[in-house]
Amino acid sequence: MKRGRFFAIPESPTDLECIRRRAATLDAGTRPAWLDASDNDYYRFIGQYSCRGLPPRERDVFFAELEDLEAVGVIGECDTTDKDIVRLYVSSVGQYDEWSIGIYLGHSLLALRPGVTNPVMSRNDVSDVTAELVADPFMIEVDNLWFMFFEVMNWKTKKGEIGLATSPDGQQWHYQQIVLVEPFHLSYPYVFHKDGEYYMIPEAHQSKSVRLYRAVDFPLHWSFAATLLEGPYFVDTTVFHAKGDWWLFTETSPRRRHDTLRLFHADSLFGPWQEHPKSPVVVDNPVAARPAGRVVIEGNEIIRFAQNCSAVYGADVRAFAVSQLSTSRYKEKQIGENPILIPAGSGWNSHGMHHIDAHKCKDGTWLACVDGWTKNE
């Protein structure tokens, strides 16, 4: 918490939580004019402050600190009859629920369980920006070292950036730094290796495109390489190479209901990409549409993962076996009746899980990075 001349100014989500916990519930005397009485529970009253009698320079500091408070989510309201009086309010809940990253292990892809002390990565591990959350992890092993790329929601800019952590064994992780920032939001950094190059396709829906990046100096430096698709809304794009072609899943619900999955194919990673004649392959189904991690190809099996967003965003993760895949045919079926990742009911993933990136190890066991969330009460 930064101590200003007049106010304590939050410098992290934890600081803002401290202010939120100390703030008072609203009553008839503290409820702002813009808030209906039925919505009292959504905000809390921090206090009333006056700049009356301050010399001009001190007044400038007073209002500059108010601007700093408003930049991190505190609401300031001047009294309608006395402009020297300011009342401060804060939302009763955080802007985002708290998301973290864990590691699951198992002898079967579809029977993974927590294998280490989780979470292995949380917002508190991010050291170069103030993080609101971490999510959407993807791993890749290079020269016996694991690299994990994931979304870091920058608390100050309210924009996703791509962070990096490393591990010698895929279980104990150490945060490194932010490796990719754009003027628009980034998440879901789908990283993969092909023909001696390392590529990444982060979710960048605000750019209204699917963007491909190439590592110019893996793993720290990435350069924009190509636009694969252009359109109003693409999220959590997931590519894979199978049966001699490139395939691309992406969720495209124009109403952002997470219920429409489209499929594209191409001869080359760089395109041109064509929409499959059976696309969209999932329609009006938020249980099965939005991608939830890397497609796994195990022998002749192709397995994709989807996050269940029917009741809440990121409730659980389900697996689907693709039984027919060609430029003219597509067919899939959910594997089993139950999700493969479910919330734990308590702790870091108490309320939901929505992502998996699974890798088969040399000894035949499976290692997966996952994410989960707990409600920001």
**Domain harbouring 209, CATH code:** 2.115.10.20
Residue 376 CB-density burial (10 A; 0-12 exposed, 13-18 middle, 19+ buried): middle
Quote the number of domains for the chain: 2
Q: How far apart are CA 33 and CA 116, in angstroms?
A: 50
Q: Token pair for residue 264?
A: 């594209």
Distance of alpha carbon 130 from alpha carbon 133, whole angstroms = 9
Residues 128, 250 within the same domain:
yes
**Closest by alpha carbon to 255, among 280, 227, 284, 276?**
284
In a 10 Å sphere around its CB, with 0-12 CB exposed, 13-18 middle and 19+ buried, how is residue 46 labelled? buried
Task: Using alpha carbons, list the distances in angstroms from residue 305 to 79, 141, 288, 322.
Answer: 53, 21, 8, 11
* Contact present, 185 and 157 (Cβ < 8 Å): no
At 67 the three-state DSSP class reads helix
- Tokens encoding 72: 């991190």
Helices (runs of H) and strands (runs of E) counted in the chain: 2, 26
pLDDT, residue 370, reads 98
Domain that includes residue 63, residue range:
2-91
For residues 51 and 194, state if they share a domain: no
Q: For the sheet with 131-142, list strands across it.
A: 131-142, 145-154, 159-167, 174-180
The length of the chain in residues reads: 377
Identity at 145, one-letter amino acid code: L
Domain boundary among 91, 119, 146: 91
Residue type at 268? S
Separation between Cα atoms, residue 151 and residue 371, nearest integer Å: 11
- Give dist(CA 248, CA 263) in Å, integer: 6
d(CA 86, CA 371): 41
Separation of alpha carbons 282 and 263, rounded Å: 9
Same domain, 158 and 270: yes
Query: Are residue 116 and residue 29 in the same domain, yes or no?
Result: no
How far is it, in rounded angstroms, from Cα 72 to Cα 130?
11
Do 104 and 35 fall into the same domain?
Answer: no
Q: Are residue 40 and residue 137 in the same domain, yes or no?
A: no
Alpha-carbon span 134 to 228, nearest angstrom? 26
Boundary (domain end) residue, out of 38, 65, 91: 91
Tokens 């993760």 sit at which residue? Answer: 317
Residues 264 and 317 in one domain: yes
Q: How crowded is residue 215: how many other Cβ atoms within 10 Å of its Cβ?
A: 18
> How far is it, in rounded angstroms, from Cα 88 to Cα 103?
41
Collapsed DSSP state (helix, strand, coil) of residue 225: strand
**DSSP code at position 14:** H
Residues 206 and 332 in one domain: yes
pLDDT at 377: 62
Rounded distance between C-alpha atoms, residue 55 and residue 176, angstroms = 46
CA distance 154 to 174: 19
Per-residue pLDDT of the chain (377 residues; tens, 9 = 90+): 889 999 999 888 888 888 888 999 999 889 888 888 888 888 899 999 999 999 999 999 999 999 989 888 889 988 778 889 999 998 877 767 899 999 999 999 999 999 899 999 999 999 999 999 999 999 999 999 999 999 999 998 989 999 999 999 999 999 999 999 999 999 999 999 999 999 999 999 999 999 999 999 999 999 999 999 999 999 999 999 999 999 999 999 978 899 999 999 999 999 999 999 999 999 999 999 999 999 999 988 999 999 999 999 999 999 999 999 999 999 999 999 999 999 999 999 999 999 999 999 999 999 999 999 998 76
pTM: 0.89
**What single-letter amino acid sits at 323?**
S
- Pair (10, 107) in one structural domain: no
Q: What share of the chain is helix, strand, coil (3-state, %, to 5)?
A: 10, 45, 40
Q: Are residues 171 and 121 in the same domain?
A: yes
Residues 295 and 361 in one domain: yes
Q: Are residues 235 and 136 both part of a single domain?
A: yes
Cα 22 to Cα 43: distance, rounded to the nearest angstrom: 12
pLDDT of 36 reads 85
Order of strands, edge to edge, in the sheet holding 113-114? 113-114, 98-106, 366-374, 352-360
> Which three-class secondary structure state does DSSP give residue 299?
coil
Structure tokens at 145: 């070292």
Last residue of a domain, one of 91, 123, 158: 91
